[in-house]
């Protein structure tokens, strides 16, 4: 079974600064997807960024980028030029690329425990 670990329960950053959130995972699979989700106080989980394991290039989405180290099974999120609106709980998640009959692995995300990010003005 896959596991996802976020070792930082809480992080803080000054507005306009850069912060990195850590995530490690354990899997025996070679093909999979990794995600970072953001959960603001509204509670809705919002996809921030995703990475396909077969791609060596790190994904980027505007101020958000990842450092994907497949051999080390590490998937950190870097937020540049932090904004007050970035304050939220951030979850790292894993999804297998395999699927059985009926596509049963689709949407089956394994989440980490989350990191609460505080942004100070």
Partner 1 sequence: ETGVTQTPRHLVMGMTNKKSLKCEQHLGHNAMYWYKQSAKKPLELMFVYNFKEQTENNSVPSRFSPECPNSSHLFLHLHTLQPEDSALYLCASSQRSVATNEKLFFGSGTQLSVL
What Rg, from alpha-carbon coordinates, does the chain have? 14
What part of residues 40-99 is at the interface with partner 1 (CB under 8 A)?
42-47, 50, 52, 91, 97
The least distance separating partner 1 from the CB of residue 13, rounded to whole angstroms, comes to 22
| Spatial separation of the C-alpha atoms in residues 89 and 118, rounded to whole Å | 9
Q: Which one among 1, 85, 103, 121 touches partner 1, defined by CB under 8 A?
A: 103
The least distance separating partner 1 from the CB of residue 83, rounded to whole angstroms, comes to 21
Q: Does 113 bind partner 1 (CB under 8 A)?
A: yes
CA distances, 82 to each of 15, 32, 66, 67, 77 (Å): 5, 29, 15, 17, 12
The least distance separating partner 1 from the CB of residue 57, rounded to whole angstroms, comes to 15
Q: Does 34 bind partner 1 (CB under 8 A)?
A: no
Give how far the C-alpha of residue 9 lies from the chain's centroid of Cα atoms, to the nearest Å: 14
Q: Quick check: 39 and 107 in contact, CB under 8 A?
A: no
The least distance separating partner 1 from the CB of residue 97, rounded to whole angstroms, comes to 8
Q: Does 14 bind partner 1 (CB under 8 A)?
A: no
Q: Where on the chain is the footprint of partner 1 (CB under 8 A)?
A: 4, 33, 37, 42-47, 50, 52, 91, 97, 102-104, 106-114
């Amino acid at each position: 079974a896959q596991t996802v670990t976020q070792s930082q329960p809480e992080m803080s950053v000054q507005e306009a600064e850069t912060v990195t959130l850590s995530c490690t995972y354990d899997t025996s699979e070679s093909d999979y997807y990794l995600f970072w989700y953001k959960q603001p106080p509204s509670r809705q989980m919002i996809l921030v960024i995703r990475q396909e394991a077969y791609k060596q290039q790190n994904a980027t989405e505007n101020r958000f980028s990842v450092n994907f180290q497949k051999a080390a099974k590490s998937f950190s999120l870097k937020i540049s030029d932090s904004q007050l609106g970035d304050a939220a709980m951030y979850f790292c998640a894993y999804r297998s690329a395999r699927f059985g009959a009926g596509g049963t692995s689709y949407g089956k995300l394994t989440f980490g425990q989350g990191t609460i990010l505080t942004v100070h003005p």
